A = this chain, B = another copy of it.
Amino acid sequence: MSAEAAYEKLCEHARQTAVLATALNVLEWDERTQMPRAAGPYRAEQSAYLAGLIHERETDPARGDWLAELVESPLADDPHGDTGCVIRQLKRRFDKKTKLPQKLVEELTRTSSVGQTAWEKAREADDYSLFLPLLEKTIDLKRQEAEAIGYDDSPYDALLDDYEPGETTANVARVLAGLRDRLAPLVAQIAASDRAAPSEIITRHYPAEGQAAFGVQAAAAIGFDFDAGRLDVTAHPFCTGLGPRDTRLTTRYDEDKYDGGLFGILHEAGHGIYDQGMPPELFGLPTGDYVSLGIHESQSRMWENLVGRSQAFWDHFYQPLQRVFPEALADVSKEEFCFAVNESKPSLVRTESDEATYNLHVIVRFELEQALLSGDLKAADLPAAWNAKYKDLLGIEPPSDADGVLQDVHWAAGLFGYFPTYALGNLYASQFFEQAAKELGDLDAMFARGEFAPLREWLREKIHSQGQRYSAAELVERVSGEPLSPEPLMRHLTAKFGGYYGFGAE
């Protein structure tokens, strides 16, 4: 077979696998938004069967044969070119998938399912000991997984690579340590300020209908295409792709806390705009797929925080918002509203934390999960270590494990190496955003006029349309001219919170 013919076959195979994978996404979206209660067990059978078909295709020896031929062919010469990117990324994925013994995959799946149930019970009972045996088993299996996949430096590398392909533990540790050392003093400075945000504004009454109407208006304004997507309500908000022109967002509305219905929608719309910005004709191929979870998160955090929580955004949107919620906002100035949605203070729960402290929550988890995996920290000692780190970095200690070490499902679900992508997303976002401002000019002035297209099109050109041609690290350097650094994020946080809380640049 010629290399061209093998490449054709490989692409067809990958596209058909994506057809199945998106069909599975339809089942999962339906399960979380529409499915009747009693249908759960059969839906699990349907999903497991499709997942099995997808796994079979992804480890199909025919794919291995085409790839073996193609990596040696001229089509692979330019690793960032159309064909080279496809070959390199599919080879990566194939090698990784075929390295895992079937038995280990099954045990990981089973343990993740049992682990999540145990975690739920432990959290409800506020009893870490109910979760401990499952966590120990999970850590053991994740070590086996890392060994099976292989790594250069530390086992954590092999796991991190699932979410942030090509990234190394050492580099992430270096960047996040730098961030931690700069951020902890900033957070302390905010805590020491005598200014307080008028946070009571956020806990007034905001009818869900108005939240939905304004959310759709804002998401459409920043560029989410509702002809190729929709917005629904779920307990746990997410964004999923059901096809190249079918991106679905979800959110939740708390009528007595205006947060998820506002910034939650902008966040998910940011994810959605990334998906909608990839070339539809490349859907199912690495050239039409997202780079990493961190890069995906950078898009959601940029629209949520750097745009959505900026004063310029509200220069444009505050009057429309007041019209939607006249009772809650009639007596509130734009400046008060902006300070209220930018309140920063140390808190216990990551998902409810603000733009500044959020990263410290992530750093705690990143440091702990590395220690768990290396064996430096025993699972039995995790709650004490957790509480100590919170005390150290955030200055507060959880009164209970339910609000401490048991708050996130990730470790129960076997997601080791996932947490750092949340902080990486913030770092990438600021670094991209600074560069966009350099190239596009006064972004604030554009936002104040309701012009979001220039930023969106810049992101599309520089990031969305690139697919997986570059790794996250390469992309950051290519776009901004600099390797990843904590500086842009620190500059942004210092300027913003210095303004609100009354202290200058460090």
Q: Residues on A close to B: CB < 8 A?
A: 16, 19-20, 22-23, 26-27, 30, 34-39, 41-43, 45-46, 49-50, 53, 225-230, 242-246, 283
Contacts and interface: CB of A to CB of B under 8 A. Distances in A.
Contact of A34 (B34, B37, B49): B34
13 contacts: A19-B46, A22-B46, A23-B23, A23-B46, A23-B49, A23-B50, A35-B242, A36-B229, A38-B245, A41-B245, A42-B244, A46-B243, A53-B53
Given A23-B27, A23-B46, A38-B246, 12 more contacts: A19-B49, A22-B46, A34-B230, A35-B242, A36-B228, A37-B227, A38-B227, A39-B245, A39-B246, A42-B243, A42-B244, A43-B243
Q: Which of A41, A50, A244, A246 has the most chain B CB atoms inside 10 A of its CB?
A: A246
A225 B38 CA distance: 10
Stoichiometry (number of copies): 2
A36 to B, nearest CB: 5
A27 B39 CA distance: 16
A339 B245 CA distance: 49
A361 B6 CA distance: 57
A430 to B, nearest CB: 32
Contacts of A225: 38
A46 B242 CA distance: 10
A36 B227 contact: yes
Contacts of A39: 228, 242-243, 245-246
A282 to B, nearest CB: 13
A48 to B, nearest CB: 9
Nearest to A41: B245
A246 B50 contact: no
A208 to B, nearest CB: 17
Contacts of A36: 226-230, 245-246
Contacts of A19: 45-46, 49
Contacts of A46: 19, 22-23, 26, 243
Contacts of A27: 23, 26
